[in-house]
Amino acid sequence: GESVGLHLPTLSVQEGDNSIINCAYSNSASDYFIWYKQESGKGPQFIIDIRSNMDKRQGQRVTVLLNKTVKHLSLQIAATQPGDSAVYFCAENLGNQFYFGTGTSLTVIP
């Protein structure tokens, strides 16, 4: 199977600071990527996506960067808020299937 990994299992940031969560993927043929947020006891929530023909995509307070050369994906959250505390993970799409990382747990310190 595909391997999608995250560099750090946990991340703590001060409220108001920016957060950066990283993800490595293994298959250079992957053409679509998604970042999810998962709060305890809930299903994964779609945050933002990016296709392989793009390097950067911005949403509301979030930015995803894609570096295809090193097969690396990052999620940047601006002005992190307590409500951002959750597990974040990336997904890599190949054909009809998605492959998921194990996640980074983000804790926002008030």
Partner 1 sequence: DAGITQSPRHKVTETGTPVTLRCHQTENHRYMYWYRQDPGHGLRLIHYSYGVKDTDKGEVSDGYSVSRSKTEDFLLTLESATSSQTSVYFCAIRGTGGEQFFGPGTRLTVL
Q: At 103, list the tokens.
A: 């996640």
The pair phi, psi for residue 86, each rounded to 5°, is 180, 180
Identify the residue among 86, 89, 106, 108 touching partner 1 (CB under 8 A): 89
Identify the residue among 28, 45, 81, 107 touching partner 1 (CB under 8 A): 45
| Alpha carbon distance 23, 33 (integer Å) | 10
- Whichever of 25 and 80 has its CB closer to partner 1, that residue is 25
1 binds partner 1 (CB under 8 A): yes
49 binds partner 1 (CB under 8 A): yes
Specify burial of residue 62 (Cβ count, 10 A radius: 0-12, 13-18, 19+): middle
Residues in contact with partner 1 by CB under 8 A are 1, 4, 32, 34, 36, 42-46, 49, 89, 91, 93, 96-103
